[in-house]
Homo-oligomer: A and B are copies of this chain.
Amino acid sequence: MNSPSTRDAARCIQDCLTCFRTCLAAAMNFCLEAGGRHIAPVHIRLMTGCADVCRTTAAYLLSSTPFYEELCRACAAVCEACAADCDSVGKMDDCAEACRRCAESCRQMVAEEVGQTAEPMPA
């Protein structure tokens, strides 16, 4: 089928917007002020990039824009990597959790599209 269930899309929008605000606020407040590993260039880039793709994916879903699956796929990949980097950097559990939840919702949107239900897509 080509459109996601309304309920799953609503959950994915919510998870994307929560991840957007969690990553952006953590990067620009906690990480910049903590210094050390928290300001490794790749960590800051992953955090702000994660916020950006989450925002865009939410906008696609909110707008019923075609190819939202492509955005969900990209969003899931970035969120998963951001969560892993947060674990590695440490003291970023809230952010890692928001990223993992968003990745899971995005994968669910992609899986649905091909008639499956909750199988994680291959990375």
Chain A positions within 8 Å of B, measured between CB atoms, are: 13, 17, 21, 24-25, 28-29, 32-33, 35, 39, 41-42, 44-46, 48-49, 52-53, 55-56, 58-60, 62-67, 70-71, 73-74, 77-78, 81
Least Cβ–Cβ distance between A39 and chain B, in angstroms: 6
Residue from the set A46, A64, A65, A78 with the largest chain B CB neighbour count within 10 Å:
A65
Given A52-B59, A59-B52, A60-B52, A66 contacting B46 (CB threshold 8 A): yes
Least Cβ–Cβ distance between A17 and chain B, in angstroms: 6
- A49 x B74 contact (CB < 8 A): no
Please give me the 6 A-B residue pairs with the lowest Cβ-Cβ distance, nearest first: A49-B65, A28-B63, A70-B74, A32-B41, A45-B65, A25-B62
Q: Choose among B13, B58, B65 the residue that contacts A48 (Cβ–Cβ < 8 A).
A: B65
A and B contact pairs by CB, cutoff 8 A, 30 listed: A13-B21, A24-B59, A25-B62, A25-B63, A28-B41, A28-B44, A28-B64, A29-B41, A29-B63, A32-B41, A32-B45, A39-B39, A41-B64, A42-B66, A45-B65, A46-B65, A46-B66, A48-B65, A49-B59, A49-B60, A49-B65, A52-B56, A52-B60, A66-B78, A66-B81, A67-B74, A67-B81, A70-B77, A70-B78, A73-B74
